[in-house]
Amino acid sequence: MSHHCNNLMIKCMDFRLQGKTLEWLQENGYFGDCDVISNAGSAKVLADGSPDAKEFILNEIGLSCEKHGVKNIIIIHHSDCGAYTTHDLKTPEEEKAKQLKDMEIEKSLIKERFPEVTIIKVWAQMKDLDGKEVDFQIVQ
């Protein structure tokens, strides 16, 4: 293993979160020590994607573990996520509850395949719809 980093972040592709996510990484010592997987809805595909889609993400995670030796996987989901508009979720609270449930499923699947990693689940609450203010919270 010629290169090493401690963390892998799985986040949503949504551009509105880019600036604040970068700040959060820097504030928490992850910046420069973090592989990144960026998809619509973060790791959502593990909760409800096709077997092929799930396998694709698990393979990406596997490469990060194998090639870079990551120890922590940070899964960030966020409010007002476009990937969740296809669900019949009527309120922001319903959307958050659904996403927290999906994050738990994602965590289980990742732990099943990679039992040695620590999963850190993060909820990013957007205070406005253009991402100028975002509150990041680690969820249990």
What is the residue-wise DSSP string for the chain? -----SEEEEEE--GGGHHHHHHHHHHTT-TTSEEEEEETTTTHHHHHS-HHHHHHHHHHHHHHHHHH---EEEEEEETT-GGGTTS---SHHHHHHHHHHHHHHHHHHHHHH-TTSEEEEEEEEESSTTSSSEEEEEE-
* Residues 65-104 as x/- pattern, contact with Zn ion by CB under 5 A: ----------------x-----------------------
- Give the total of residues touching Zn ion (CB under 5 A): 3
Our finding on whether 12 is near Zn ion (CB under 5 A) is: yes
Pick the stretch among 7-15, 90-98, 103-111, 116-124 that binds Zn ion (CB under 5 A).
7-15
Our finding on whether 47 is near Zn ion (CB under 5 A) is: no
Quick one: which of 7, 11, 14, 79 contacts Zn ion (CB under 5 A)? 14
Please give the residue ranges that form the binding site for Zn ion (CB under 5 A).
12, 14, 81
